[in-house]
A and B are shown apart, each in its own frame.
Chain A
Amino acid sequence: MSGNSLLIPCFVAVPLAGAFLNSLVGRRVRALPEFLGALAAFILVGLSLMALQSVRADSVWVYQVGGWKLPLGISLVLDGLTAFMLVTVNAVAFAIVVYARDYMERYTSKDLFYTLLLLMLAGMNGVLIAGDLFNLFVFLEIAAVASYALVAFGTERHELEAAFKYGVMGSVASLFILLGIALLYGMTSTLNLADMSQSLAGHSEADLLLMVSALFLMGFGLKTALVPFHAWLPDAHPSAPAPISAMLSGVLIKCLGIYALSRIFFNVIGMSPRVLTLLMYWGALSMMAGVILAMGQRDLKRLLAYSTISQVGYVVLGLGLGTPLGFLGVVLHLFNHSIAKALLFLVSGALEYATGTRDLHNMGGLRSRMPVTHTASFVAAMSIAGMPPFGGFWSKLLIIMAAVEAGHLGFAVWAVIVSVLTLALFAGVMKNIFWGEPGLRWQGVREVPGCMQASMLALALFSLLSGTLLVPGIREKFLLQASAALAQGTNYAHMIMSQI
């Protein structure tokens, strides 16, 4: 076991330690919860950058818990996709922890907030590094339970209702996933992802495998909020405090949904053309339904939540294409959307902080009053809408190019139409909130405190520059490794087995 693989368990240990200390002493010492949260997130960003440095496209790092050899013991795995997701998740989490320092002044029991936030982070990092199916499930549940509690954090009528709905839907999703795991275990008598993949390769029980695939698609589809299963998301995400909305929409559904789905289907079960086609149509449906439902919203955060459904549709469409170019687009779009959507939710929090409302029709002309928020919001909105210099343009372009290249011209045109609708949607948002004549009501509105500004500006900078990730030289390090991990398919098992 080399030094680098000792790095892997730290991704779970650090946030867990932070959460533990916070719940133990956070109440007694003032400003300690903020400090511990920021420290843990900062360490995690450093660790994930180190992981990104050390990982290479043609190998993986495997950590065997307690030194038990691989097919028997629990393993934690770090490959290109994992490292990429870890960087994204932890960077967004750090920005959010900094932002929450000022924003959470309005709530009581901040120590509990940071404890739950760190627990959720531990769960998400755990999902990313888990090397066997049951640990993936356990970490997924840790993140999910923490997020149910965080949605209810305000404990007002709407928060509680949304959290209950989210909790029931999330539990049903977990049931399906657990049933799928039980059936897969019955087929392969192993839980390790690599071992399972090799054992499935020799199997020919197509019917049972189809059943398992359907269960996983339902379970993870519910967690990702793809369209027939989306009803909980526009309630749950807006009801949480703004930093948590940013975390849920920005990274949680991607870790629990997209990452777990693609890991299991591409690397373990092996993609079949039927499932790929299903994913394409599913993604296309989510894209259109999300953006059309978003059009009718007056509440800014609900609008953003619907737009999340639409953008995740792009990701699923890209996954369904199943070509290397499509995977590159998927990976870049995951990154762009995480940053930009988190930023937009932070902006909505800043607006609520300054004006006390989230109603689009009530605001107007805030540009001169809140210049920093305006800049950040402009960058994020244009990135999501896919305007050329901003990050979102490049990832959508890649997905559309991949669709054309794979011969699915209809899907490419569909994606362009949705992109135009998204542009119209966000132009409307910007006009309603920031542009136009400043109303008399907002004369006294002041810009939000420094920490909130700093974290919004940092995310805006990332969003602006993420197009440069495609420049040769940087591309190999960050994006290609991640998309190669998806493209290698069931070869994943060989790479892990050869590490021992």
Chain B
Amino acid sequence: MIYFLCLVLLCVGIYGVLRKRNIIRMILGLIIAEHAINLLFVLIGYRLNGRAPILSPDGPILQMVDPLPQALVLTAIVIGLATTALLVALAMRLHGKYGTYDVARIRELKG
């Protein structure tokens, strides 16, 4: 069920990137899609009723959560932060040059 929600979240994000005309909304869509994937990554390592894999005196650990995806997702979040900051900075400069956030009016390059 939660996996399915991740997929929905990803689709919402991709929809935002593709369909929105406002630059800021496109960036928001990107952030949503990114966090959908981060969530999925953490879920892959999660086990129901699991606990942290730390050595403890009260017996062996039977159900443990895989810590590696969590570490990786932390890195992915930092990377996402850098990308987002750069894109927002670009959006600000674009607004300064064109006076609008509307991508339909920022298209001097033909692609």
Residues of chain B in range 54-105 having any CB-CB distance to chain A below 8 Å: 66, 68-69, 72, 75-76, 79, 82-83, 86-87, 90-91, 93-94, 97-98
A168-B87 contact, Cβ under 8 Å, with A156-B97, A189-B66:
yes
Taking a contact as CB atoms closer than 8 A, the residue among B44, B79, B83, B109 that contacts A235 in the complex is B109
- Determine if A175 and B37 form an interchain contact, defined as CB atoms under 8 angstroms apart: yes
A49 CB within 8 Å of chain B: no
B79 touches A141 (CB 8 A): yes
Our pick among A134, A152, A156, A174 for the contact of B90 (Cβ within 8 Å) is: A152
A281 contacts which chain B residues (CB < 8 A)? none
User: Would B109 and A162 count as touching, CB distance under 8 A?
Assistant: yes
Please tell me the size bucket of the interface on A. 35 or more
Contact of A163 among B10, B33, B69, B90 (CB under 8 A): B90
B30 lies within 8 A of A148 (CB): no
Binds B, one of A22-30, A178-186, A374-382: A178-186
B30 touches A168 (CB 8 A): yes
A161's partner among B14, B66, B72, B106 (CB-CB below 8 A) is B106
* A182 B44 Cβ-Cβ under 8 A: yes
A484 on the B face (CB < 8 A): no
Complex contacts, A148 vs chain B, CB 8 Å = 83, 86-87, 90
Which residues of B, 9-66, contact A by the 8 Å Cβ criterion?
10, 14, 17, 23, 26, 30, 33-34, 37, 40-41, 44, 66
Chain A facing B: main interface SS: helix
Whether B94 and A171, one on each chain, are in contact in the complex, defined by CB atoms closer than 8 angstroms, is no
Number of interface residues of B (CB under 8 A): 35
Please indicate the chain A residues that have their CB under 8 angstroms from the CB of B111 in the complex: 165, 231-232, 234-235
Instruction: Tell me the A110-163 residues at the B interface (CB within 8 Å).
Output: 134, 138, 141, 145, 148-149, 152, 155-158, 160-163
Are the C-beta atoms of A167 and B86 separated by less than 8 Å? yes
Closest B residue by C-beta to A178: B37
Query: CB of A164 within 8 A of chain B?
Result: yes
Inter-chain contacts of B110 with A (CB < 8 A): 235
Check A138–B90 contact: CB distance below 8 A: no
Tell me if B83 and A145 are in contact (CB < 8 A).
yes
Contact with A160, one of B26, B37, B75, B97 (Cβ below 8 angstroms): B97
**The one of A156, A168, A191 that contacts B17, using a Cβ cutoff of 8 Å:** A168
Residues in chain B near residue A167, CB distance under 8 A: 83, 86-87, 90
Top 4 A-B pairs, shortest CB-CB distance: A186-B44, A182-B41, A235-B109, A231-B111
* 21 A-B pairs with C-beta separation under 8 A: A145-B79, A152-B93, A156-B97, A157-B97, A160-B97, A161-B94, A162-B109, A164-B91, A165-B111, A171-B30, A172-B17, A174-B79, A175-B34, A175-B37, A178-B37, A179-B10, A179-B40, A186-B44, A191-B72, A235-B109, A235-B111
A164-B94, A172-B14, A172-B17 provided; 13 other pairs, C-beta below 8 A? A148-B86, A149-B86, A157-B108, A160-B90, A161-B107, A164-B87, A167-B86, A167-B90, A168-B87, A171-B30, A179-B37, A185-B68, A235-B109
